[in-house]
């Protein structure tokens, strides 16, 4: 793969960025820990010396994402809607990274009830268990979908949220519960509004796969990518290494950040057409032109972030270059294809 210029050492794109807060000295729980972001976070926590427990129903996550850590971590196959299972997972835990969710706008439009039950009721179950069992800190994975359609950009935390998808509503509800439990019970909770996260371990074969791995997989296969709408819709693509650093910083956030919600993004606007063109440049010449189809319900037109508040409150500054992160992601997906794992 190095002949194509894809093979970027992972440390250059993420691992060294995980240095920072000392290990918590307690057991950490990652809900959704077998998923894309969750499994990367589990690896980061183990690397820095934390004892880690994973809670995941494996509906979208994959144990193969944790394969090299089996035996070093606890893995619980459980459903966030099961309050008893959640309580069992949080017993003895000092910090929860709550990433478990039904993580798709399109899926929430097709099945809003399940999105609500997992993302909202499941989050309340996590908070109740954390409160009752003395868990000290919770980091909640929210989403840029809480903003919905806006007329002012870049998006900042002072804007009134106007989510247009059930997924966005569910994530905003989760944020509000984090704030309420901080106000009511003094819980040290921090919500992180992830924008379009990409990187290794993101599954292109999932039913509601994200755009970056889906485009890369199609390009590696020499097939045209499908763009919904005109492709001029803008997103803020952030590499997973930066997201992991934000999670670790949030777990050690000072008290004035508790109950808050902060953007986690690259802070740069890129269109879907630009994404497709950059991936085509990395993969190589001769790819067919994209196919354009009708825009999808629930998709916002514009989404890019101001990250100044995350810098102020958490010390988070994005550091991974967009093309550098894409090259690392292409390298990982190409290797997975070569091994027959995708």
Instruction: Extract the tokens encoding 256.
Output: 């004035």
- 282, two tokens: 């990395």
CB 30 within 8 A of CB 45: yes
- Please tell me the distance from the alpha carbon of residue 292 to that of residue 116, in angstroms, as a whole number: 31
How far is the C-alpha of 19 from the C-alpha of 40, rounded, in Å? 14
Q: Which of 167, 177, 208, 292 is catalytic?
A: 167
d(CA 305, CA 237): 10
Of the candidates 219, 320, 212, 222, which has an alpha carbon nearest to the alpha carbon of residue 264?
Answer: 320
User: Beta strands of the chain (E only): which ranges?
Assistant: 27-31, 51-56, 74-77, 93-98, 137-143, 188-194, 196-198, 226-228, 234-235, 237-239, 261-264, 270-271, 291-293
Instruction: Identify whether 147 is a catalytic site residue.
Output: no
**Which residues are the active-site residues?**
167
């Amino acid at each position: 793969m190095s002949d194509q210029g894809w093979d970027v050492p992972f440390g250059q794109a993420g691992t060294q960025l995980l240095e920072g807060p000392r290990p918590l000295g307690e057991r950490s729980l990652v809900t959704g820990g077998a998923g894309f972001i969750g499994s990367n976070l589990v690896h980061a926590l183990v690397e820095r010396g934390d004892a880690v427990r994973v809670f995941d129903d494996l509906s979208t996550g994959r144990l193969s994402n944790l394969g090299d850590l089996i035996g070093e971590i606890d893995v619980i196959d459980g459903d966030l809607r099961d309050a008893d299972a959640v309580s069992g997972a949080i017993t003895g835990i000092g910090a929860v990274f709550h990433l478990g969710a039904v993580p798709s706008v399109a899926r929430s439009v097709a099945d809003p009830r399940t999105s609500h039950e997992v993302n909202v009721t499941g989050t309340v179950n996590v908070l109740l268990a954390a409160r009752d069992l003395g868990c000290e800190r919770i980091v909640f994975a929210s989403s840029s979908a809480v903003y919905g359609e806006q007329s002012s950009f870049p998006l900042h935390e002072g804007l009134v949220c106007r989510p247009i998808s059930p997924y966005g509503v569910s994530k905003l509800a989760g944020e509000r519960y984090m704030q309420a439990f901080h106000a009511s019970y003094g819980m040290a909770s921090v919500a992180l509004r992830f924008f379009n996260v990409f990187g290794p371990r993101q599954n292109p074969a999932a039913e509601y796969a994200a755009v970056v791995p889906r485009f890369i997989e199609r390009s590696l296969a020499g097939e045209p990518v499908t763009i919904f709408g005109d492709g001029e819709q803008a997103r803020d693509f952030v590499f997973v290494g930066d997201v992991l650093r934000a999670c670790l910083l949030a777990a050690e956030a000072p008290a004035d950040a508790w109950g808050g919600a902060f953007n986690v993004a690259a802070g740069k606007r890129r269109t879907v057409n630009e994404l497709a063109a950059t991936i085509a440049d990395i993969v190589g010449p001769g790819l067919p032109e994209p196919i354009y189809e009708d825009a999808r319900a629930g998709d916002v037109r514009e989404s890019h972030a101001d990250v100044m508040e995350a810098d102020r409150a958490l010390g988070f500054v994005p550091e991974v270059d967009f093309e550098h992160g894409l090259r690392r992601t292409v390298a990982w997906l190409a290797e997975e294809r070569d091994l027959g794992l995708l």
